[in-house]
């Protein structure tokens, strides 16, 4: 089974409450699966999270901050309609946004280079 298929199966597994420790752990597992899939698609992509929010050197600081912030925003009953992101790469942060803010639409912009 390819890494991409494993990621898609993991995403389609029903999730419980996303704003719990288990919900955050699911996002971390999906991030690892997405990294596996990205290694086969991106030239030079080889480190979990590469330079983005899942990068190991960040020790989950950015992912935990974004997840907690989104959960607090959602808990206030505010509608989250659109999240705009600059820089998509393999889609780790977009996945975090979509998994946490399930009613939102994510619009991502990225620059593609000739070798990518």
Residue-range domain boundaries for the chain: 3-109
Indicate the SS3 state at residue 106: strand
Q: Report pLDDT for 112.
A: 64
**Mean model confidence pLDDT for the chain:** 82
pLDDT tier at 81, thresholds 50, 70, 90: very high
CA atoms in the 13 A half-sphere facing the CB of 7 = 20
Cα 38 from Cα 23, distance rounded (Å): 22
Q: Quick one: which H or E segment has residue 86? A: strand 82-86
pLDDT in tens, 17-67: 889 999 999 999 888 888 888 777 766 666 666 667 887 778 889 899 999
**Angle (nearest 5°) at CA 58 between 36 and 87:** 65
pLDDT tier at 9, thresholds 50, 70, 90: confident
The runs of H, that is alpha helices, within 40-113 are 61-75, 92-100
Percent of the residues in the chain that have a pLDDT greater than 90, as a whole number: 32
User: Can you say whether residue 59 is alpha, beta or left, with left for phi > 0 and alpha for psi between -120 and 50 degrees?
Assistant: left
């Amino acid at each position: 089974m390819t890494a991409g298929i494993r990621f898609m199966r993991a995403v389609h597994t029903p999730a419980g409450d996303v704003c719990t420790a288990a919900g955050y752990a699911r996002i971390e597992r999906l991030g690892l699966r997405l990294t596996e899939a990205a290694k086969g698609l991106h030239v030079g992509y080889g480190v979990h999270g590469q330079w983005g929010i899942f990068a190991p050197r960040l020790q989950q600081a950015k992912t935990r901050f974004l997840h907690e912030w989104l959960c607090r925003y959602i808990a206030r009953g505010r509608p989250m309609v659109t999240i705009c992101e600059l820089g998509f790469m393999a889609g780790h942060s977009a996945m975090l946004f979509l998994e946490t803010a399930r009613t939102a639409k994510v619009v991502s912009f990225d620059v593609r280079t000739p070798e990518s």
